[in-house]
Structure 1
């Protein structure tokens, strides 16, 4: 409760903070309501592997009713390939699938090595559960709450069957890649199956873009799915998709004019007319119903996206695993596929014995077609509203930050605070995911960067200059000296570092407060009983209105991951610190009157430059 009160201080007015402090004190006093709820959580801890996991999963994901593309599913962009023929595409995808089968075999044998913490009490084992929930997993829509499917662990010596779903031009195909009676397909055999699809799909027309339903509001998709399942053919199709190892999306490239309203963002490693931002849009949502959004099944944990122009990446459903697990698995698969030079030879093995991939056909009523149309319109409007850009800051990277004896994560979090303050003259509740895998079934808690110390530092950094642009002296008062700014910086760094350590060691406040709220619901004598005032006071909404939703997504390759904002007037800001640059994926909504990724990128650049000037000034 003391930490919570302190968290509220920089984002509330003084009268608001004084008022809520009394509410917090009343809730947390010995023998009070909070103490009783704490005892309930402690009893729950004794009964479950992880008392917080179900609360967190439902609150963050499964109870969410809005569409999951943009709002929940991240998109990941990998370095581009050079494809000259469809054989190049088929070969590359075949190698990715082959790598996925290798990895799934390790998972089936429960043989994944246990990782251990490398810092902050190093050596502690880290929970590997989410690694086992990536391949062969899916989210299922529910009218009130979604659920999850995870492929069961096979018994020892059990012959495992695996299949993938390939979507090309809105047509869905099932490809059996491993069967108990004839073993696993080799690369040539997988390649031949993909070539069949790449040849067959363009010849078909009027395929129902049924994948658009997965980008609709969750309750509406659940109702549509329920009606689809009344037909046995549809029910079998949906079951095949749910239980597939992964989905491969064979895309057309987006027009290079797509989302041309933004001005900033470099071309990065793309040499075609499409820049990184254009590619990232494709991975996030497909580009709309007239592009590739029907070429998705947004409920699948893994959707590999391969475009004919060489753009490659991933769209992934977030509820089963966090970025740290997905990135690690995907980079292994891409490394495997990249370890071969592109072969221009047709499959050499005799593949005539293989039946062709099964194209999934649907029995649809007029209401189903109407729903698909409505889902497409809704998703198109969401996509049109997305203000997204990839911004590479090239002034310096993590090597400079480390030379300042500051964690790159702490450094960038404070830079984000400064950038936000420069734009809005205040701080806001900031979410950064902290991995708590030191605990069984641990996923993430929230590192909060908007501290009172950060506020004092950004205020000092935002003082007006004592010279105007013409060099004339301006009359200003109470300018903060560089020495004082350094002092405030060191204090803010120390507080943010401790906040980060507290979270990864399980001493964050957000899961705990969520648990107290859910405990209050579960222990109320009647379902309609009001929650304690601490959860109904406006300050609780302010504390959890994350207008800055951030995450470090580090990669070993020149790849990056981005996502949408979680609030209508907020920003999404993922970052990937490299040795000499920082890759940011910034998102907002065009419909907001107060946000702009271009302005935020500009403020971020100015903030990072100002920080370097401060930390390298002559002493």
Structure 2
């Protein structure tokens, strides 16, 4: 359904991922690290081309079942193409075994686009030194040039608007070739300038996390998510591209990825493989020998623009800047405990955190809401995700009991001298909520969820019932169906093996986005909302999460203490 959504890609669709920051002292360090990431990407592409990517298998819930690997083949050489009514995808063709077709990447530096051939039919693949030399040339060339028209901003526009602008650009042969080079590239490498330390400045709650150049990790995440706006790095992007690796001179690095071809798990595994390759090699300050080689410099892409094109760029910049100003986003590292304590309670960390999110939302709103959590359906051919609906009746009973006042609490001017729900009852309600949440999770990953089935029926009905004389079935126009599919809490677990994390924007103007990454002794949350909403606040939500997680630990520690 991504391709049918006309909303701008930044914040609304594309997630951003922060890698552990690097320590760069020279521009050579930047180019060397970037070259190693590109080298890893080329190695991975060779594995894909040889069709030798091993099949993954489920590790739990009927372990051993093979998982569909199709998403891994839709990450490199893939791009989303805007459409008037619906977008499409460019997916590079699979070469025959033994064939090594030409490959290139596009590097964006100071809004300048460069095409870097990384594999040629006549000379094979560039090595790390050669890649490093090409990147050094770009880092030396781009600062000397006048600022180009920020064409990349057009990819942040609403999709029909971007389609219209792209159609106009394509009338010029040079622009048409530029677009093809960008869209057919293996990936995009964005060489950024650091965001100011004051960008989105706010008091950080929870543990201190990554820093780079004096910037906190919320600042770093915003750079990956949207680039910081038209005056910073947002023109240094092509938001349609599936993989955009991002590196800035202060050591910040990460990823922005277009969501339609694949889910986060496949993307995370890919880029963490790149990182492990880069980190496995010893540091070096040697200037690459290829600097004096016969390789031609990268081709800088130049655009032919009319007055109408410039106006469209200005409009897209204004829309993106307003969207960025409205984003309420923060990284919250909860340091009270992590998945080690949760596992000691004999509960799945995912189930536990989902119930914590329900409790936090209830504390703020006095009710639950339709909640989306992605559940992988890769046990099925071409499977993507279904929806784990965490707002169950059992969860509601438990959070209502947990949120009720207890002895010693103050209500108005009076102290509560009684406990409405005993700890024994709360524990029973907790066990019921855990059992139901676990069942919901297992049902979804085994193909017994409801949302994808209903979505398929609805889309099929649209194709056969497009007129008033033949309307959609009442089920899909009923108010209850609309409410059930308005996800004011959009969540997902995005676990990583490195100290990286991934976040995204909310899917509703009055909703929250909440990704989480459970670590052994902490939990990293990426929380998002919109300032324009009168009902949401990531600051209040982070506080409610902290209170919920603390109270859950106290509550669950009691039975174990009593048993001792």
TM-score where L is the length of structure 1: 0.89
Which residue of structure 2 aligns with residue 465 of structure 1?
406
Report how many residues are paired: 559
Q: Structure 1 CA distance, aligned partners of 2:312 and 2:20?
A: 36
Deviation at 1:531?
1.3
Q: Structure 2 CA distance, aligned partners of 1:536 and 1:382?
A: 30
Contact conserved, 1:262 with 1:598, CA < 8 A, in 2? no
Contact conserved, 2:531 with 2:537, CA < 8 A, in 1? yes
Deviation at 1:525?
8.1
Change (3 A) 1:367 1:346: same
Is 1:81 the counterpart of 2:22 in the alignment? yes
Deviation at 1:510?
0.2
Q: Structure 2 CA distance, aligned partners of 1:334 and 1:551?
A: 23
Q: Structure 2 CA distance, aligned partners of 1:276 and 1:142?
A: 35
Is 1:316 the counterpart of 2:257 in the alignment? yes
Change (3 A) 1:465 1:342: same
Alignment partner of 1:372 out of 287, 305, 313: 313
SS at 1:426 equivalent = coil
Is 1:596 the counterpart of 2:537 in the alignment? yes
Which residue of structure 1 aligns with residue 148 of structure 2?
207
Deviation at 1:515?
1.7
Q: Structure 1 CA distance, aligned partners of 2:468 and 2:235?
A: 41
Which residue of structure 2 aligns with residue 407 of structure 1?
348
Contact conserved, 1:266 with 1:275, CA < 8 A, in 2? no
Is 1:122 the counterpart of 2:67 in the alignment? no
Contact conserved, 1:248 with 1:304, CA < 8 A, in 2? yes
Contact conserved, 2:187 with 2:242, CA < 8 A, in 1? yes
Residue range with higher mean Cα deviation, 342-351 or 219-228: 342-351
Change (3 A) 1:528 1:518: farther
Deviations 1:215-244 (A, max 9, x none): 000000000000000000000000000000
Contact conserved, 2:212 with 2:250, CA < 8 A, in 1? no
Residue range with higher mean Cα deviation, 537-546 or 570-579: 537-546
Which residue of structure 2 aligns with residue 325 of structure 1?
266
Contact conserved, 1:87 with 1:195, CA < 8 A, in 2? yes
Deviation at 1:517?
1.5
Contact conserved, 2:21 with 2:212, CA < 8 A, in 1? no
Which residue of structure 1 aligns with residue 104 of structure 2?
163
Is 1:152 the counterpart of 2:61 in the alignment? no
Alignment partner of 1:260 out of 201, 213, 216: 201
Deviation at 1:265?
5.2
Contact conserved, 1:393 with 1:581, CA < 8 A, in 2? yes
Which residue of structure 2 aligns with residue 284 of structure 1?
225
Alignment partner of 1:506 out of 440, 447, 463: 447
Contact conserved, 2:110 with 2:147, CA < 8 A, in 1? no
TM-align CA RMSD:
1.5
Is 1:437 the counterpart of 2:378 in the alignment? yes
Deviations 1:47-94 (A, max 9, x none): xxxxxxxxxxxx2x0011010010000000000000111000000000
SS at 1:445 equivalent = strand
Which residue of structure 2 aligns with residue 66 of structure 1?
7
Deviations 1:67-122 (A, max 9, x none): 00100000000000001110000000000000000000000111100000010001
Which residue of structure 1 aligns with residue 322 of structure 2?
381
Deviation at 1:520?
2.1
Alignment partner of 1:307 out of 248, 262, 272: 248
Residue range with higher mean Cα deviation, 82-91 or 334-343: 334-343
TM-score where L is the length of structure 2: 0.97
Q: Structure 2 CA distance, aligned partners of 1:544 and 1:440?
A: 25
Residue range with higher mean Cα deviation, 368-377 or 267-276: 267-276
SS at 1:433 equivalent = strand
Change (3 A) 1:151 1:374: same
Alignment partner of 2:117 out of 164, 170, 176: 176
